[in-house]
Structure 1
Amino acid sequence: MGSTFNGLIGLIILALDIWAIINVLKSNTGTGMKIIWVLLIIFLPVLGLIIWAIAGPRGNVRV
């Protein structure tokens, strides 16, 4: 039970990290800042995701 739950949490974090990286790459931020944000999300998956959610660039929203 425990390993299944941990695997599910890991999969959810991976999916959210990929989603965050895609949004960073779609944003209008400069290339240097995009690289920094992507590296932060890759090397600190949970903390990087939280920091991106609070202060990170967002992709263009189409209405």
Structure 2
Amino acid sequence: MGSLLSGLASLIILALDIWAIIHVMRSGAEPGPKILWVLLILCLPVLGLIIWAIAGPRSGAMRV
């Protein structure tokens, strides 16, 4: 049962990382920051995803 939950959690993290990388690549940011975000997400899958969700590039509609 423990390995099933671990595998499911890993798949969820992988799916969220792929989703975040796609959003980074589609953002209007410059190529340099895009590469850094993708590397952060790939090197630190969970922490990178959390940092990206908090501080990542936003669309123009969300800026104040």
TM-score, normalised via structure 1 length: 0.91
Amino acid at match of 1:18: I
Q: Secondary structure of 1:28's match?
A: coil
Instruction: Work out the CA distance in 2 between the residues paired with 1:26 and 1:5.
Output: 32
Paired residues in the alignment total 61
1:24–1:58 CA contact under 8 A, matched in 2? no
Q: Equivalent residues in 2 for 1:1-63 (5 A)?
A: 1-58=1-58
Unmatched segments (≥5 aa) in structure 1: none
Higher relative contact order (CA 8 A, sep 6+): 1
- Identity across aligned pairs (percent)? 69
Q: 1:9 to 1:40 in 2, by over 3 A?
A: same
Instruction: Work out the CA distance in 1 between the residues paired with 2:6 and 2:47.
Output: 17
Report the alpha carbon displacement of residue 57 of structure 1 after superposing the two structures with TM: 1.3
TM-score, normalised via structure 2 length: 0.89
Moved runs in structure 1, 4+ residues, more than 6 A? none
Q: 1:40 to 1:6 in 2, by over 3 A?
A: same
Report the RMSD for the aligned CA atoms in angstroms.
1.6
